[in-house]
């Protein structure tokens, strides 16, 4: 089946152009010119990826993004930002957007990003083992260690499980409930607060600056997201 993309954007000419190009690439495309309509369509149609403008009538793109994550939609969301919306990009990522592209963008660039996100989506589920090199640290899953600036820090087996699970989601938002379910199991009855505390500890071990995490990001209203 073809992958489905939903465009939520109020510039009709841009929507038309995007649609032609995306259909050409073999995607099924639907669109909404209004934030509220877009949100409804996203929830009912469950597309594989969403292109989301920020300034929209009805409901702005940031709100739409936040709502989608609150509803546990974990598909890739690419924000389309206009010039002067630099701050919105940051908020967008905090709201759970996966990526953003600034207008005017080249269609080739956009298609490349869409492909990369959809590929990543299909790939998640791979088992991670051995050594994983991230931007600022190395994680040694075999020996339960983090290597940060040549210093080795021990990880507990629980921390290894949490890290592995987060990394395997490949940038997708992981809710606290999911973590409870997948890592702790329900037999120990931990609370979501327990999870937040564990994440704090884990950040102290793996983040260069735990107060401004680079790898384990908090997603407002959603949970956590791991960025390599």
Question: What is the contact surface with Ca ion in residues (CB under 5 A)?
Answer: 10, 53, 55
Nearer to Ca ion, 55 or 128 (CB): 55
Nearer to Ca ion, 3 or 99 (CB): 99
Nearer to Ca ion, 11 or 140 (CB): 11
CA dihedral 154, 160, 162, 168 (to 10 degrees): 130
Query: Minimum distance between the CB of residue 157 and Ca ion, rounded to whole angstroms?
Result: 48
Q: Name residue, tokens 């992958």.
A: 3
Query: Minimum distance between the CB of residue 51 and Ca ion, rounded to whole angstroms?
Result: 12
- Both tokens of 146, joined, read 């983090």
> CA 71, CA 62: separation in Å to the nearest integer?
14
DSSP string, 30-61: EEESSHHHHHHHHHHH--SEEEEESS-SSS-H
- Both tokens of 212, joined, read 């401004």
Closest chain position to Ca ion (CB): 55
Nearer to Ca ion, 81 or 175 (CB): 81
> CA 118, CA 171: separation in Å to the nearest integer?
12
Query: Minimum distance between the CB of residue 98 and Ca ion, rounded to whole angstroms?
Result: 19
Query: Minimum distance between the CB of residue 10 and Ca ion, rounded to whole angstroms?
Result: 5
């Amino acid at each position: 089946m073809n992958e489905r993309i939903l465009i939520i954007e109020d510039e009709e000419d841009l929507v038309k152009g995007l649609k032609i190009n995306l259909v050409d690439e073999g995607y099924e495309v639907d669109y909404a010119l209004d934030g509220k309509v877009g949100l409804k369509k996203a929830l009912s149609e469950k597309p594989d990826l969403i292109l989301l403008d920020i300034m929209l009538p009805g409901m702005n793109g940031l709100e739409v993004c936040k709502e989608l994550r609150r509803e546990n939609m974990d598909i890739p969301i690419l924000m389309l930002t206009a010039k002067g919306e630099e701050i919105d990009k940051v908020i967008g990522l905090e709201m759970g957007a996966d990526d953003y592209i600034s207008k005017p963008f080249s269609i080739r660039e956009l298609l490349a990003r869409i492909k990369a996100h959809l590929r990543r989506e299909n790939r998640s589920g791979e088992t991670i083992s051995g050594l994983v090199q991230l931007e600022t640290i190395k994680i040694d899953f075999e020996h339960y260690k983090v290597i940060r600036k040549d210093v080795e820090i021990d990880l507990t087996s629980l921390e290894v499980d949490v890290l592995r699970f987060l990394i395997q989601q490949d940038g997708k938002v992981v809710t606290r409930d999911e973590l409870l379910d997948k890592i702790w199991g329900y037999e120990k009855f931990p609370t979501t607060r327990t999870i937040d505390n564990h994440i704090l500890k884990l950040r102290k071990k793996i983040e260069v600056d735990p107060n401004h995490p680079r790898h384990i990001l908090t997603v407002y209203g959603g949970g956590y997201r791991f960025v390599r």
